[in-house]
Amino acid sequence: MSPTPEIDRPLKGKVALVAGATRGAGRGIATELGAAGATVYVTGRTTRARRSEYDRPETIEETAELVTQAGGRGIAVPVDHLVPAEVEQLVGRIDREQGRLDVLVNDIWGGERMIEWNKPLWEHSLDGGLRMLQLAVNTHLITSHFALPLLIRKPGGLVLEITDGTADYNREHYRLSAFYDLAKTSVIRLAWGQAQELAPFGGTALALTPGWMRSEIMLDTFGVEETNWRDALEKEPHFVISESPRYVGRAVVALAGDPDVHRWNGTSTSSGELAQVYGFTDLDGSRPDAWRYLVEVQDPGHPADPTGYR
């Protein structure tokens, strides 16, 4: 007997906006929301007609197609989230077409090529650093400013601020660039702030981080593909703890389908932690817990060994 539609598509009828869904975590999240039956608006700057300064091949149209193929409905909308008018128009469109917004995922980033690792603040490119902060923080603020009035129209709205690192980890570990460190910790605090403002309306906001994610850019860095990612272990043995972008997507689906999701309001968590709570796995059936692995294995300099961590 096939599963009932409610079990097979737990988010059927729900509407999500994944802001910054061209690739990486955003694409993985959008695809899993689609697999759960949601209608998903996916935004970004790279389309089949035009590339952003990333100059990479992934497009929002491809992401929307993956959402639909997974079982949901993917809708691609080109948006520069630093342009308030474009974001306002996006939310107006969602309101006209759906009349609701249940899940907002703020995943806009786009700063990898601007980071100068291990350079002190006074040596790092000021233009690059400030642009990084605009892309990582201003975009999230602008998007929430316009999207939250629609999201709070009905109780139960969920906001996910996607970042790098948990609050606990980032509190104790410098992220090797003052600009990057500030960008990723700011998003965690933004989630906390939104949590205070959404609570009276029955909404929930929290910060969520993937672990060492096998994004398209990361796979290219190691010269591998998702099908043979373990070949990268020769260059970096600790890559053994890595996870697919779909893993954090399954974390988002678990949260969105939890009737008691408000227990997470204002918190900072990870895909690995949520997997232990909700029982979902990565595509290979494992449950990598990257941030615990970093603290207990990689950072202390122990040999790579995922035993007990996935």
Looking at residue 175, its pLDDT comes to 92
Q: Could you list the residue range(s) of the whole structural domain that residue 124 is in?
A: 5-211+245-288
Q: Is the pLDDT of residue 249 over 80?
A: yes
Q: Is residue 118 part of a domain?
A: yes
Total count of domains within the chain: 1
Q: What is the mean pLDDT of residues 290-303?
A: 96
Q: Is residue 184 part of a domain?
A: yes
Confidence of residue 220 (pLDDT cuts 50, 70, 90): very high
Looking at residue 272, its pLDDT comes to 98
**Which neighbouring-strand residues pair with 33?**
none
How many whole angstroms separate alpha carbon 209 and alpha carbon 200? 25
How many whole angstroms separate alpha carbon 263 and alpha carbon 186? 22
Q: Which two tokens stand for residue 12?
A: 């059927």
Q: Is the pLDDT of residue 4 over 70?
A: no
Chain mean position to CA 46: 17
Q: Is residue 40 part of a domain?
A: yes
CA distances from 190 to 58, 173, 193, 269 (A): 28, 19, 5, 14
Answer whether 232's CB lies under 8 Å from 292's CB.
no
Looking at residue 7, its pLDDT comes to 58
In 3-state terms, what secondary structure has residue 275?
helix
Specify the CATH number for the domain of residue 27: 3.40.50.720
Largest distance between two CA atoms of the chain: 64
Q: Is residue 231 part of a domain?
A: no
Q: Rounded to two decimals, what is the model's pTM? A: 0.95
Q: Is residue 188 part of a domain?
A: yes
Buried/exposed code over 55-78 (b: 16+ C-beta within 10 A; e: otherwise): eeebbbbbbbbbbbebbbebbbbb
Q: What is the mean pLDDT of residues 19-41?
A: 97
Name the nearest CA neighbour of 275 among 310, 308, 251, 244: 251
Q: Is residue 201 part of a domain?
A: yes
Q: What is the mean pLDDT of residues 205-218?
A: 96
Q: What is the pLDDT of residues 96-134, one digit of tens each?
A: 999 999 999 999 998 888 899 999 999 999 999 999 999
Q: Is residue 302 part of a domain?
A: no
How many whole angstroms separate alpha carbon 111 and alpha carbon 81? 14
Q: Is residue 220 part of a domain?
A: no
- Containing H/E element for 162? strand 158-162
Q: What is the mean pLDDT of residues 146-158?
A: 98
- Please give the mean pLDDT across all residues of the chain: 95
Q: Which residue has the tokens 């249940």?
A: 102
Q: Is the pLDDT of residue 1 over 50?
A: no
Name the nearest CA neighbour of 272 among 168, 137, 191: 168
